[in-house]
Structure 1
């Protein structure tokens, strides 16, 4: 026990400095306490608020400003510290509450001593023989760091810079010789360094504050000291009472401050009622009750969706972040700091929101409404009680999960907003489903890349919702729909007219829209059926008579399209690219990217936006004008559907018949016929890209020529030799050499032919609209006369080399057929030479 001449009065007002210097106590944070939390990166708001309060007290200078109680026990000091003439240690004070405040005050004393030239004074008061009288029992490294900090000084005016170019105490201390690298793994030390930088930011230049802290008579900052031993409370009991070891979460701190903010509003609230109250209650009463009861029950059911800490804190914060962001975007407070990379919501603290004036009473009213719309007054087995039956347009459960996990895409965020805005407007189930069908189609088929896109489309949905008119009626009125893809808006207007005509039209349109390949975009079927032309001319679909011919044509094309795109939904390779090859018989349908780079639309890959920018969906988007390139390419698709040989009940078989018929009319003699006849050429293009110009056609293995690529005609020749099982002996192997780079030469290589001790090879490539043959020796030997004779017989001519290298023989052939025939004849002659 401490010596009897030291009096420790419970409730006594003390400063941090007096606790150690006057009471002669060593302050030791016990093992049962958590690590120092105020310096954690995610505690910026707490850190800032506390330092602001300390700064305000010191700036004003009013003495004896209490920081509430500090609880703890005074025990005998079993750590032997030598007494000095200036200081003897009477005992240890082990705080059970106040750890965070005491640690921050220790660091503030150290910093102010450094900038005011009082470091030695502080060292003499707060240390004995180099050992700090403020320390942590939690880790040896924490204790050692406190000793090192109090024993060493740094030059504040010469701080090293951190990665942002700002002078940093943390960077400077880490660079000192007394800082051990292993200390970086100690969370308390990391937090202390973070706090020192925060103190520097707030108190730089405040040299006069040090004396206010250490004043022996009237210090500015104090607390009320309470010795728990006088109340005969054990550590275990106090831990249970105060739930130490389970610190307040970031959300609990946020919620406490938010509730205080809500309480501060003085304007009238909407009428809120609670079941156990006979009278209306204020927004504050309603909010604090619901957030701890009904709303908490809802989010509790979805805990661990965003994290695995068995709380719903992150989930609720993510929900609030999106609601607040959307509210302020629509309020034209376009603060872009809400969003991070890829459109994910940033996690703002209460201080962040408050400093940006985000937490207005209007926002709280909206937030309450959103919570109540989610809860609906009751839950379904603890989960969301849905407004709609399962449908293709909006999954309330899955979208909510994505929101609380902060993984929503821009279209999902827009659907989330659109859904609850319509629910708030009181739409009945049938109207709500119709609304979400249109919102889904628009958001799914509009490219949304940027925040600017998102802002504009959010406002567009808001404007549609504010019309308070059924969505199909609005579309039939030809209302302006800003921001969304014009082609899709036009399609939705045409479909609105048709759906309004009859249940038959609704059924047919909804069925083909819900095909997993089209996902709401079926304008090409409307065009092929003649409906778009009628609408463009008349502005409606009020044709004379029943219009049965339009419905029949729509059904026919819908059935054909459904059959084809079901077959190739995952991969065109499943049907040997017969769809692409059949369309190519009607015309060049390729989409383009650069001047000579095109796409075969043969892959379903999403890489490099292939699925978005180079796909059948993209090609079949409703065009604006007849006769433009997109309209022309679409006509080739219609021509396949209209071909008498096409059969939706035998997609691959009928498409192969179309390809075969085309080849019979036009034999293999141009680049299109090569692709039509040879599906393996499509397989080479992993992303569907080719280069096509007046000089060459190159199959790109990926998207650019800096990856491997293959020339069309030479590759076709190699595949044809293999397909026809041609005898290319006496060569032992045939190999296609693909290469990378714009100037790289790709070719067929014949190798493994040896005669009279000499090895030979032949390269075949396509250049200048001809097949180029180059026959050469390997090494320094000369040609056999037998080989020369065979080559000259087929028209090969010798080519002398300027550097005295062995002679090479060249020849040229115009077509795949003539090139293949030359190979057959040459190999036969060489075999006879070998046999002879």
Structure 2
């Protein structure tokens, strides 16, 4: 069997001739007008430089070839793309050093060549023989093409063109290197400890080299699975039974799955191996699993070796747990259809996660699902699936995984959490144990549901019927009574009230029920003061309520308050109830303290201005309302930032009552006004401040030294802030009426502007007339 050698550098490989045969496809990593290749080229060169400067170890996977075809030396069967790029980097360093280059490196680089490709061979000789006049601000391709020894006919070969592009990219990135000298980099490249290396294998005589030749000649690279299997079988003790499964039983299973997705069985099987290797590594080493990153890169790049470089070291834990993997895969093949059917039973409406994603393009949510199923198999002794037990086990597990944000840095915590979950009596465990790792809100909800369902098992089925709905997505906490006392009859009442009071009002399709929005806002209480009210989602953008957040709690209070009111008045309708909520809140507003009034004025504005607000609420472009700086903001769905739209607020009311000012223009959210006798002076009202200024585009001459508290910038000759203690965020001070506040503000603002003008010596009549109309 062919032996694989580890940690081979290009310098070591070039101890003998290294040839790329004529049946290989063109060098592709320099292709232009291909975004995927561009990304690969930029990242690959960056990786090579990181290794050459000793910043990172970059393993470039397996390269293999033979000497079966009579050519002298190593003839590359797979890996020619990577080898060519590495050659171009080495020759760049060598030629940039000119007469200072290591003599052995110069000699060895001449052992690399493309056999049977006349233009590429001549161009390679040109690179080796010519003197490179490397300049940081000029591309190498332009420098080469100005040489008398360069022949444009070479460009008829796409490999030459692509090599030129790659050399330009190497030059571009190397021009930014400042911390390492070229000589240091050269020393690293020829060192036995070079951090840029390959696994290397020369095929033994009799190996089916022609299969690989055919694949490469038609432009198809070998898959990661083909290379993995070659390495796997040579490095690990694999039983004949396992080999048989890999070649037949399992391959047939994955082929059937892949065919339905119009993909290849190799990709499905490799991805399943990768996912198993990933969680085995994470489980064993906790959060120290950097070596697994190459597996992820391979998955993202379609399992092709020329763009996804998989180091076999990443499969260390996998290789040491082959028997466990064999049991798992046997169990999966036997039970896959049943597992899939059980999981689909609990899918939320519009849920995108599918069991088949394990084998296609898993994210960390899918990886958690994969590991949970493996955990179940291991802890039930790989027995044939007990469907009833698995279904009861999977419902809460699904909710926990789906409603927890899972990513690379917390995946090991999720694995630890899943490891604690028993495969029997799960509800008792959830009720009694303090489970960590998953979303705190979802853990608490599952604990409460477990407590309720243990007392009334019939609720399990009723719960999951609601959990599947788009509005809930596994989170039905707003329907659970605070005391956790629940019967099937009471549950039916709660669901009925939700449908009648909330239902499509929260919030269907493109239109909001504005009456419901206004009523829901009246349930804001002391627990939801200014610091905690982050925003109110107006549309079902995510399709469900995530966490213990507004408006979920308000809806919860609305449901149970309606139930209590309905007991007192059996004729109460949702419409009457919602109207009563608004009236009660408005009547109570006048009794609030000064501070509370300021905090809740934004709600009062909505209730007082229903026509204006409803028009904007029902605009399908807008998605979120929030309170900021005592003002009310409505955010666009597509671009959420503070410049979306200032719906309306206390500022508007203040501006309408200020005296002597006329509107000049509006810039996004800022309102610009001016005094008729000071037409050059801008008075700018932002969301929570006022400032005044004079533009650069007028003829006024400023003093050489500006007075204190007056500034200049790129846009303004002079400007200054109006005092915050007078403005008070556009709100009257405590024990002050709104009318007296506006009168005071008008006077103080006028006085401030006059002082600003006086300090700049701009208050003469002649100056006013000379700039009038600017």
* TM-score bin, normalised by smaller chain: 0.5 to 0.7
Q: Distance in 2 between the 1:704 and 1:187 partners?
A: 47
State whether residues 119 and 157 of structure 2, in contact with CA within 8 Å, keep that contact through their aligned partners in structure 1. Answer: no
User: In 2, Cα distance between the equivalents of 1:596 and 1:468?
Assistant: 39
Instruction: Determine if the alignment matches structure 1 residue 317 to structure 2 residue 270.
Output: yes
Aligned partner of 1:401 in structure 2 is 356
Q: How does 1:18-417 map to 2 (within 5 A)?
A: 30=22, 32-35=23-26, 68-71=67-70, 117=103, 142-152=120-130, 186-187=158-159, 204=190, 245=217, 248-263=222-237, 283-303=238-258, 311-333=264-286, 334-339=288-293, 353-356=311-314, 358-359=316-317, 361-376=319-334, 386=340, 388=342, 390-393=344-347, 399-408=354-363, 410-417=364-371
For 2:87 and 2:668, locate their aligned partners in 1 and report how far apart those are by CA, in whole Å: 66
| Cα drift, residue 456 of structure 1 | 0.7
Q: CA RMSD in A?
A: 6.2
1:574 correspondence with 2:548: no
Q: 1:135 to 1:256 in 2, by over 3 A?
A: closer
Structure 1 residue 100 displacement after superposition: 7.0
> Please, which runs of 5 or more residues in structure 1 have no aligned partner?
1-14, 21-26, 54-66, 73-92, 127-131, 163-169, 207-220, 227-236, 264-282, 533-548, 622-629, 720-732, 748-765, 775-798, 807-836
- 459, 462, 478: which one pairs with 2:416? 459
Deviation at 1:401, TM superposition (A): 2.9
Worse-superposed segment, 509-518 or 570-579? 570-579
SS class of match (1:248): coil
Cα separation, 2, equivalents of 1:577 and 1:772 = 34
User: If the length of structure 1 is used for normalisation, what is the TM-score?
Assistant: 0.55
Does the C-alpha gap of structure 1 residues 671 and 331 become closer, same or farther in structure 2, counting only changes over 3 Å? closer
Q: Which stretch has the larger CA shift, 573-582 or 660-669?
A: 660-669
Q: Which has the higher contact order (CA 8 A, sep 6+)?
A: 2
SS in structure 2 of the partner of residue 574 of structure 1: coil
Deviations 1:699-719 (A, max 9, x none): 243555344424325769999
Instruction: Kindly provide the CA deviation profile for residues 740-786 of structure 1, in whole angstroms up to 9, marking residues without a partner as x.
Output: 59974489xxxxxxxxxxxxxxxxxx944548999xxxxxxxxxxxx
Q: In 2 relative to 1, CA 345–245 (structure 1 residues): closer, same or farther, beyond 3 Å?
A: closer
Q: Supply the distance in 2 between the matched residues of 1:102 and 1:503 (Cα, whole angstroms).
A: 63
Residues 366 and 204 (structure 1), Cα distance of their counterparts in 2 relative to 1, 3 Å cut: same
Instruction: Give the superposition deviation at 1:302.
Output: 4.1
CA distance in 2, matches of 1:657, 1:222: 82
Q: Contact (CA 8 Å) 1:394, 1:436: kept in 2 or not?
A: no
Measure, in 1, the Cα distance between the counterparts of 2:339 and 2:246: 18
Preserved CA contact (<8 Å) 1:70 1:223:
no
Partner of 1:601: 537
Instruction: Please report the TM-score for the alignment, with normalisation by the length of structure 2.
Output: 0.59
Whether 2:660 is the aligned partner of 1:691: answer: no
Selected match of 1:484 from 429, 438, 444: 438
- 2:316 counterpart SS class: coil
How far residue 519 of structure 1 moved from its aligned partner, in angstroms, is: 2.4
Contact 1:28 1:135 in 2 (8 A): yes
Structure 2 partner of 1:273: none
For 1:300 and 1:343, locate their aligned partners in 2 and report how far apart those are by CA, in whole Å.
23
Distance, in Å, in 1 between the alignment partners of 2:21 and 2:667 is 71
In the other structure, the counterpart of 1:510 is: 464
Q: Deviations over 1:348-377 (max 9, x none)?
A: 989854335625543322332333233218
**For the structure 1 residues 339 and 137, does the alpha-carbon distance in structure 2 shift closer, same or farther, using more than 3 Å as the test?**
closer
Q: Secondary structure at the match of 1:251?
A: helix
Task: Find the aligned partners of 1:285 and 1:225 in 2 and give their Cα distance.
Answer: 23
CA displacement 1:299-321 (0-9 Å, x = unmatched): 22344899x8x533333332222
Say whether the 8 Å CA contact 2:414–2:437 is kept in structure 1.
yes
The verdict on how the C-alpha distance between 1:391 and 1:332 changes in structure 2, with shifts beyond 3 A counting, is same
**What does the per-residue CA deviation read over 1:632-672, in whole Å, with 9 as the maximum and x for residues that have no partner?**
99545533554449999998745653356548957999653
Bigger helix fraction? 2
CA 1:652–1:180 in 2, change beyond 3 Å: closer, same or farther? farther
- The partner residue of 1:521 within 475, 481, 485 is 475
Cα shift readout 1:185-242 (whole Å, capped 9, x = no counterpart)? 9457757979999x96886279xxxxxxxxxxxxxx999999xxxxxxxxxx989996
Q: Does 1:739 align with 2:669?
A: yes
8 Å contact 1:646–1:654 — kept in the other structure? Answer: no
Alignment coverage as a number of residue pairs: 589
Distance 2:447 2:512 in 1: 35
**Structure 2 partner of 1:418:** 372
Instruction: Report if the CA contact (8 A) 2:21-2:116 is conserved.
Output: yes
Q: Does 1:681 pair with 2:613?
A: yes
1:259 shift after superposition: 1.7
1:495 aligns with 2:449: yes
How far apart in 2 are the matches of 1:518 and 1:284?
Answer: 49
Aligned in 2, Cα 1:650/1:259: closer, same or farther, shift over 3 Å? farther
The alpha-carbon deviation at position 434 of structure 1 amounts to: 1.1
The 1:772/1:189 distance shift into structure 2, 3 A limit, reads: farther
Tell me the residue number matched to 2:603: 672
* Unmatched segments (≥5 aa) in structure 2: 1-12, 31-36, 49-57, 175-184, 193-200, 591-596, 657-662, 673-683, 689-728, 733-737, 743-752, 758-762, 770-774
Structure 2 distance, partners of 1:652, 1:185, is: 76
Structure 1 pair 240–36 and aligned structure 2 pair: CA distance change class (3 A) = closer
Query: Among 554, 560, 569, which residue is 2:497 paired with?
Result: 560
Partner of 1:270: none
Whether the aligned pair in 1 keeps the contact of 2:393 and 2:424 (CA below 8 Å) is no
Larger radius of gyration: 1
| Alignment deviations for residues 306-342 of structure 1 (CA, whole Å, 9 cap, x no partner) | 9x8x533333332222211111111135313535999
CA offsets 1:444-502 (integer angstroms, 9 cap, x no match): 33344x433221111111121xx4533123334x1231222344333323322332344
Give the 3-state SS of the residue equivalent to 2:420 in structure 1: helix
